[in-house]
Amino acid sequence: MLNKVEEYIKRNGLLNKERLYILAVSGGADSVALLMAMTRLGYSVCVAHCNFHLRGEESDRDERFVTDLCKKMGVECHLAHFDTKAYAELHKVSIEMAARDLRYNYFEQLRRDLNAEGICVAHHKNDNVETVLINLLRGTGIHGMTGIHPVRGKIIRPLLCVSRDEIESWLKAEGQDYVTDSTNMVNDVMRNKVRNIVLPMLKEIAPNAVENILTMQQQMTEAEAVYDAKISEDLDRMLKDGGTSINIDDLLTTPSPQCTLYEWLKNYGFSPATIRQIATRLDRPSGKCWESEGHTLFKDRDSLVLSEKKEEMKPFVVPEDGTYALADGRKLRVKISDKVEISRDSSLATLDAAKVRFPLTLRHIANGDRFIPFGMKGSKLVSDYLTDIKMPVSDKMRQLVVTDADNNIIWLVGLRTSNQCAIDKDTKTMITITITNK
C-alpha cells in the first residue's frame, strides 16, 4: 500500500518533502493510515485533531487515542474543541455542516500560523464513490460526476488511490489499532445511507461496482477538462461589458447554450433550475428578468445583461429648498432664484417655481408612472419613454424621478423635465434641481 500511495503522490505532484503538512487525524482507520503512511514515506508532518463534543465520552476517547498515538510516534499534535451544536444553531446549519465549517476553518488558520504548505485529509476510493453517488442523487452536472479531486486549494488527499479494505488490511498487518465512530453506523444522513445500504447493494448486483464507478469518474474528469476549455473559450469570446452581458445570437451558436449559461451564471447565485428556465425562454420579449439573491439577469433586446442588486433607495422627501445628503453619499440641491434661465444641461432641472408645490420626493420609477416630457402636450408612460431612448433594461430599474406634492413627475432625473412646470414668458422665479457627487 505504501508503494501505491508514494507513486500516487509523485504522479500527481501532491507533496514536497521540504515543506510541512498538517494531517487531519480523527483516530479512525483512514486518518491513522494517513499518519502512518506520511511518516513512513519521510514527510514533515504535524497532526490536528478536532473534538466536536457530539458523542460524549466517545469524543474524549478519540482525543486521548490521537494524543497518545502522536506521543508514541513523536509527532506534534494540535487540539481544538468546539461547541458544534451552538454553532449550528447560531448559523442555522446542520450539525454536519457546522462540524465541516469549524474543522476546515480551524485547519486553514493553523496552516497559516505554522506556515504549512497544505492540509492532508484521509479520503480514499470509497469516499470518492460515495461522493459521486450522492452528487448523482442530488442531480449533479458534469463537475459533480468527477467526485473528489486529489487537490482542492490547500486540501490534499494522498489516499485517494486506495480503498477502505486496503487501509484496514494494512493496519491489521502492521498491528495498528484505531477507533470507530459509532455514528458512522447510524443511517441518519445521506452519506451513511449510501455507505451502509446503497453500496453493499450495488456490490451484490455488480461485484466490481466500486472500481467501475471510479473508472467512470476518471473518464468524467478527462471529459471535464475538455468541457471547461471549450466553455471558457466561448465565454471569453462572447462576454461583453466586463463579463456582464452576452449576445443571444452568439450564445445560440454554442454546442449547448444551457451549459454555457450555467458556467457563466452559477457564480452569481443562479440555481440550475433557474438557468434551465432562462435557456428555454431566450425568445421572450425585452424586459424579461430572472433573479438570484444578489443579481438580476435582464433580457435587453438581443442580449442578456447581468446586474448586481443594490439596496433600493427609499423615497427621499424634500420639504423645502436647500442642500440634502443622500444615503449613497451624493448631494441633492434644490434652489429657488429670481434669475430665470432655461438650462440645456440634462443633469440640471430648471422649473417654473409657481408651478411646483412642495414637498418634493426623489424616488425610483414605479409601474404606471406617466409624465409630460418637455416640449410635448400629451402624457407618456415613463417606461415607454425610456424604451424610446433605448435605455438598457438594467438602467431602467435604477432610474430616478422627482415628484411634487401632487405626485406629478416634474423631472426624469438626468434626462428630461416635465412640460407641466416648464419655464415660459410669465415665469418670475425658478427652481433649480441637481444631484451631484460632491
Q: Enumerate the domain spans of the chain.
A: 2-215, 239-308, 316-436
Residue 107 has pLDDT above 80, yes or no: yes
Q: Tell me, which fold does domain 316-436 have in CATH? A: Phenylalanyl-tRNA Synthetase; Chain B, domain 3 (3.50.40)
Backbone φ, ψ for residue 115 (5° rounding): 55, 40
pLDDT tier, 345 (very low <50, low <70, confident <90, very high otherwise):
confident
Q: Which among 32, 192, 30, 178 has a CA at the least distance from the CA of 96?
A: 192
pLDDT tier, 429 (very low <50, low <70, confident <90, very high otherwise):
very high
> DSSP code of 184?
G
Mean pLDDT value across the chain = 93
Report pLDDT for 186.
Answer: 80
Written as nine digits, the cell of 141 is 452536472
Give the helix/strand (H/E) hosting 229: helix 209-238
Using CA atoms in the order 278, 282, 288, 289, what is the torsion angle rounded to 10 degrees?
Answer: 30
pLDDT tier, 393 (very low <50, low <70, confident <90, very high otherwise):
confident
Name all contacts of 293-301 with Cβ < 8 Å and 24+ positions apart.
Answer: 293/269, 294/268, 294/269, 295/268, 295/269, 295/270, 296/394, 296/397, 297/265, 297/270, 298/392, 298/393, 298/394, 299/248, 299/393, 300/245, 300/392, 300/393, 300/394
Average pLDDT of span 38-49? 98
Tell me the β-bridge partners of 360.
318
Report pLDDT for 284.
Answer: 86
Written as nine digits, the cell of 409 is 413627475
Residue 310 has pLDDT above 80, yes or no: no
Residue 313 has pLDDT above 90, yes or no: no
Rg (the chain; Cα; Å): 32
Q: What is the CATH number of domain 239-308?
A: 3.30.465
pLDDT tier, 392 (very low <50, low <70, confident <90, very high otherwise):
confident
Report pLDDT for 178.
Answer: 97
Residue 382 has pLDDT above 90, yes or no: yes
Q: pTM of the prediction?
A: 0.71
Report pLDDT for 396.
Answer: 82
Q: Which among 15, 2, 1, 4 has a CA at the least distance from the CA of 157?
A: 15
Backbone φ, ψ for residue 169 (5° rounding): -65, -40
Is the bond preceding 359 in cis, omega lying within 30 degrees of 0?
Answer: yes
Residue 50 has pLDDT above 90, yes or no: yes
pLDDT > 90 in the chain, percent: 83
Which of 121-130, 176-185, 424-433 has the lowest average pLDDT? 176-185
Written as nine digits, the cell of 73 is 510516534
Q: Class assignment of domain 2-215? A: alpha beta
